[in-house]
Structure 1
Amino acid sequence: MTVEETLPFADWLRLREPADAAARAEELLDAVRPRLTGTTPTVIHDLGSGTGSMSRWLATRLPGPQHWVLHDRDADLLARAAEGMTGVVAADGAPVTVGTRCGDLTRLSAADLAEASLVTASALLDMLTAEEIERVVAACVGRPTLFAVSVTGRVRLTPGDPLDAAVEAAFNDHQRRTVDGRRLLGPDAVAATAAAFARRGVSVRQRPSPWRLGPAQADLAAEWFRGWVGAACAQRADLAGPAEAYARRRLADAAAGRLTVLVEHSDLLAGG
């Protein structure tokens, strides 16, 4: 297997949205919510918005009027995200408005986020480099920042298989690959982000936010698995042969409802 994603990216984001919503650590939201009550609208900047999963999830859990500013480098995804917020209201029925900004979020400055009451992101950090995380963190300091559903590199499939550990290790190495001169942090990103905030004197809380995929999420489990194995084989060509039979077994188990998958993630709240 060599294909890392079999679905178009927007379709993949749509497929994973329910699992992301179920995984996010509500405890961190409880910690930040009291900071966002006041007489003026809450302004929330969401970085790497994709199709708007984070804004749809969070807007309905916060009270009072809100204005969301969605950031992404993909104009088509931003348009989908904004459209997906149509009709969304706050937890108490207050209005929610949306604006979009298309561009490189790793080039944002503190001035770009000066109006923010809260900065958020979901499933973003592993796609950044150490230098990019330093810039993002520097821009976010001074306001609560909630980064959700960041991969940690740990996966558990049940029933187990002898090839699981080798595929996991190769996938994690692939996540740390260099792309166009950018060395991605992959599963090391959460620790790097926490350390970057700590160096600036900002307190950080972390909580687990795992995907728990069973028979009810068989479509997502199968699609995730294809990408996971495909990335591992792209990283280690010697896995391609053994992975063919391995993938057939695992996908058959998923289709029959016999496979459960735990994909570990971490949520991080800085300054809340």
Structure 2
Amino acid sequence: MNYYSHNIGDYAQATTHLSLIEDAIYSRLLRRYYAEEQPIMDNMPQVFRWVGARTEEEKEATAQILGEFFDLRDGHWHNKRADVEIAAYRVKAETAKANGRRGGRPRKDDRTSQQPGGFSFGSGDEPDHNPNVTASEANQKTRTGNQEANEHPPSPRKRVTGFDASTIELPNWLDREDWIVWIADRKARRKPVTEEGARRQLQQLAAYLAEGHTPGAVIANSIAGGYQGLFPPRPQGRAGHPPSRAQRLADWADELRDVLADDGRPREKFMGAIDAAH
């Protein structure tokens, strides 16, 4: 990435307590993170060289920053905000590549030209400026044109192949087979993932990963629950017992918010039978 979003307010609020050395080290680590589009490897001599830590004070400050703003997983230091931003960037880049392969964004086809007097003429219909043409003749031409249109209706437009979320570039922490299974499940339920939906869901998976939920487990849980959105497994109150009514309501509320954010049209959701006797 040659560019990343830097929210001055958020950064200032999170780093006000840092010393000048610590602030410089944190900034250098973030720039390295975004430039490489991957987390920082757990190799302290290499990290010290990247941030320019030479003295013992600077090395100690580097270790302090890593422990405060990064999480160590699988031999790499992860930053939650950076993971989300990189995932969103890759989805946007893949969308731009797909548009480029299709010849760029579709251009609007202006098939009509507005003429003075409130009349609109389509392609092939030219206004008759002959002053000798009477109103009845003009009406007759209009009726004849309408009759020809009814006899020879235009052929329906072929639907352009839509966005295929299963082919986009994925971050290295997401297994493509898991993602393809999720996309296929959405297609089977006639709710394919859109470009915007793919971007949001990769951001969600990155956020869940930062919280300790593996993407495969999140996808499996969402498919098993019949969810339209992605939700991590919820811990059950007692082993072997199904989730409580309050938990089911919370799941339903989370899914409803995801549906409304996707296209604004809620879907039917089975919430269980209601016992009117209680």
Fold agreement, TM-score > 0.5: no
- TM-score bracket, shorter-length normalisation: under 0.3
What TM-score do you get using the length of structure 2 for normalisation? 0.21
Structure with more of its chain in helix, by fraction: 2
Structure with more of its chain in strand, by fraction: 1
Which of structures 1 and 2 has the larger relative contact order (alpha carbons within 8 angstroms, sep 6+)? 1
Largest Rg, 1 or 2: 2
What TM-score do you get using the length of structure 1 for normalisation? 0.22
